[in-house]
Every structure is written in C-alpha cells, then in structure tokens.
Structure 1
Amino acid sequence: MNEERKSLKVTIEKIEAELRTINEKVSNRHPLQQKSPIMPNNPKGLITYLLADIPSYWTKRICHSKHIKKLILIILICLWAISIGLTGFIVRDNVALHERMQLIELQWRK
C-alpha cells in the first residue's frame, strides 16, 4: 500500500506541475498594456513625439483591442457580401443587354 501511495503521490505531483504550467501559459496570454509615450523636453524630440510616438502608440492600442478586431471583421464580411451582390447584378445586367443587342441586330437585318 505504501508503494501505491507513493506512486499516486508522484502522479498527482506531475499533474499539478502540468496544471501550473498550463495556468501560467493561459495567464500570460494577454498582451501587456501599452505604456503612453513620455513627452520630451526639447523641440527636436517634440516633433518625433507628435509625428511618430503618438500615432504608433494609438495604432498599437487600437490594433490590440478585441472590439476593433471584431468591427473590422464585420466590415470585411459586409464588403465581401456587397462585392458578391454587385457582381451578380453586373452579370444579370450584361445578360439582359446582350439579349437586347441580339434582338436589335435581328430586327436590323430584316
């Protein structure tokens, strides 16, 4: 019985270690918050701050937002559906135009 308990204890410790590693991986999955850029004191740094640091900060912050990602996905799906609809409309219109041109050509030849 002592050997069984020792083997069970070893397997329990292995499972606990695996669960700890899984928990660490899951908890570290979320990206760290972007830190706001620090405003410089000199005028040369101010230009870089305004033209590079602030836009890159807000771009990173927006790109990591899950709501913005879902909004972009919705917009892309809508654009795809609109393009499919417009393609179908153009095809139907071309078929009707082709039939009308054939009718006019037959009437002209008579």
Structure 2
Amino acid sequence: VLLSRDRGLLRRREIWAGAYVYSDRPQEQLRDILGRFAPALAPWTRCTACNGTLADADKHAVSDRLEHGTQQAYDVFAQCTACARVYWRGAHHGHLETIVADAVREFGDAAA
C-alpha cells in the first residue's frame, strides 16, 4: 500500500493500493493513517528501508558499518535481517519515542 501526498502518483495504473495523506505534518499524518486503517502496531520492529525484521545486533558485529562517533556514543544496536541496515537510538530517538508512545496509547487497542 502506497501512502502519498502526490495525487498524480496515486492515479498511476501501476499503483493498485494507495491512499492520499491529507496533512503535511508528520504527527497529523500518523493520526490520520492510524485512524483510517487501524494497522497492527509493532514499533521499532521493522526496517525503514526494506520493511525487513529487525533483530538485536552485537556492537562488535556491526562496528564496520558504523561511523566512529556512533561507535563511541552508542552501545545498543539492531540490524535488519533482510538488508543488514543498522539502527541505534540516536539523538532524535526520544522525540520519536514520544510520538510512537502516544500513537500506541491512542490507537493500540483499536489496531490490535
């Protein structure tokens, strides 16, 4: 399913399942999508690049994929089991965690 603010893209015949996202503000977009589609919520379990499953990763096992500053500052990592992309709880994580927690609190029971 493609979610987009581009109506022209959504009209293409190659797109067989799509929905227009009304707001241009990310928090409003999240509320809109959760309210309309009620997907099952499983935060921090999927890769944002390929949608593969994330698994805990040992810092030493992924160190060759990290910038030096990231290696120094963080100890907990996850890695996509499909594309091998590495994730960590960076500086923006606290803000994202608040958004996700609010969404789970508001829509978690309805989506389950």
TM-score (norm 2): 0.23
Higher strand share: 2
1 or 2 for the larger relative contact order (CA 8 Å, sep ≥6)?
2
| TM-score between the two structures when normalised by the length of structure 1 | 0.23
Which has more radius of gyration?
1
Q: Which has the higher helix share?
A: 1
